[in-house]
Amino acid sequence: MKKVLFAYAVYLLAIWMFFPFVYPNLNQDVSTYASIGHAVYFSRLPLLPVFLFAVWKNGKLQEIAASTEQRLPRLFATAVFMLLLVGLYGLVQLPFRLAGFWNARQAQISVQPIGDWAGEYLLSLFFFYLAVTVVVFVSQLLMKRFHKNWWIVLWILLVPSAIFVVYVQPLWIDPLYEDFHDLPAGALRTDIEQLTDAAGIPDATLLEVDKSAKTITYNAYVNGLFGSARVVLYDTTIDGLAEDEVLFIVAHEIGHYVLHHMYWGTAGFLVLGFFLLWVTKRVSDKFLAKKQINAYQLRAVPLFLLILSFLQFASSPVSLYVSREMERQADAYALEYAPDTEAGIRMFENMQEISKSDPDPWPVFEWLRSTHPSIQDRIEAVEDYEENR
């Protein structure tokens, strides 16, 4: 255990020596904000597996799990033990979260008050606690009922769960964090309606979200299932970009909807989930047999979470690659259907200037972190389109 923690400490030291002090000299286009952002991200990247490994190896926490399970009914025991784990993890990752918040405030990317940020952090932890408690409790019941095939039954339950989350989050959860209202009537709304009509989604809900109280960056997104689309624009996007640039962003987001990326993403999640649960079952059986622990006991929970977190960590480059490819496809859609394709170049340049992100990260950093292609790659794609059309 000490070796793992020592290795993580050395890793953190290397990360915080490299990104703030060395990387800017090797990549002169990167901002201080982006360099520190890399350091914060890569500091947190292995944090969950390290934390869960420490929990699994900690005899005191194992005793607490066993004692709680003996004294309380299963549901309450699970709720109490998961409250302990989530609370500890919330404290462990808090310094990195604060570093990210401080970095954004120093760069004047974020204008969110610390109290508001803290409230959202606690709310996110609360939702995470509820979700993980339900998943663990249901998993324990399945493990006790289906000793060999619990992972298959659990995977089957992922299907309606994934659809529920994708459908419910925009309608019920997001409004707890942000204020949404209908996009006001005017030229911009009319032009967006023309784009949605052309895309075959004339009944799309057009919304504006008040982000200016938290950030100065630009963004937009489209979500919705079963023929119901919601086009959401940051108020900073509307106020900070020219209309043709806004329309390019909207065309990109409509591309995600028209190309069914949400469905493909959900399908990919289910395929990955099948693989992760299968491997988790096979690996956990060996460790639990050595410890003489039943799979449905609370003492086994840290092991299951550790295996899943490690597998998710190992598979993230594949997920990120798929995400970047979807973004490229949505960009290609925007180039075909946005009123002014050259506005895409201006939009990306303005987005880069305001966000201060790394415009051209090293391939290894893009491979391990980026959900989107680099700004430089996206600008070059627009330029190539203009030259070849």
User: Which pLDDT score, from 0 to 100, does residue 228 have?
Assistant: 66
Smallest Cα–Cα separation from 344: which of 357, 330, 365?
330
Beta bridge partners of 329: none
Question: Mind listing the pLDDT tens digit for each residue in 169-205?
Answer: 777 888 889 899 999 999 999 999 999 999 988 888 8
Residue 165 has pLDDT above 90, yes or no: no
Residues in the chain: 389
Instruction: Please tell me the distance from the alpha carbon of residue 300 to that of residue 290, in angstroms, as a whole number.
Output: 12
Residue 389 has pLDDT above 80, yes or no: no
Instruction: Categorize the per-residue pLDDT at 283 as very low, low, confident or very high, splitting at 50, 70 and 90.
Output: very high
Residue 285 CA, chain-centre distance (Å), reads: 30
How, if at all, do strands 205-209 and 220-223 pair?
unpaired
What is residue 232's three-state secondary structure? strand
Instruction: Categorize the per-residue pLDDT at 225 as very low, low, confident or very high, splitting at 50, 70 and 90.
Output: low
User: Which pLDDT score, from 0 to 100, does residue 105 have?
Assistant: 96
* Mean pLDDT in residue range 54-62: 93
Tokens representing 144 are 């006790």
User: Which pLDDT score, from 0 to 100, does residue 18 have?
Assistant: 97
Tokens representing 232 are 């959401």
Instruction: Categorize the per-residue pLDDT at 363 as very low, low, confident or very high, splitting at 50, 70 and 90.
Output: very high
* Mean pLDDT in residue range 226-232: 76
Residue 93 has pLDDT above 70, yes or no: yes
> Given the structure tokens 């303005």, which residue do they identify?
350
User: What's the whole-number average pLDDT of the chain?
Assistant: 93
Residue 168 has pLDDT above 90, yes or no: no
How, if at all, do strands 230-234 and 205-209 pair?
parallel
Q: Are 215 and 111 in contact (CB under 8 A)?
A: yes
Distances (CA, A) of 174 to 216, 230, 362: 19, 13, 33
What is residue 50's three-state secondary structure? helix
What is residue 13's three-state secondary structure? helix
Instruction: Categorize the per-residue pLDDT at 226 as very low, low, confident or very high, splitting at 50, 70 and 90.
Output: low
- Segment among 217-231, 275-289, 330-344 with least mean pLDDT: 217-231
Residue 376 has pLDDT above 70, yes or no: yes
User: Which pLDDT score, from 0 to 100, does residue 153 have?
Assistant: 95
Q: Are 350 and 245 in contact (CB under 8 A)?
A: yes
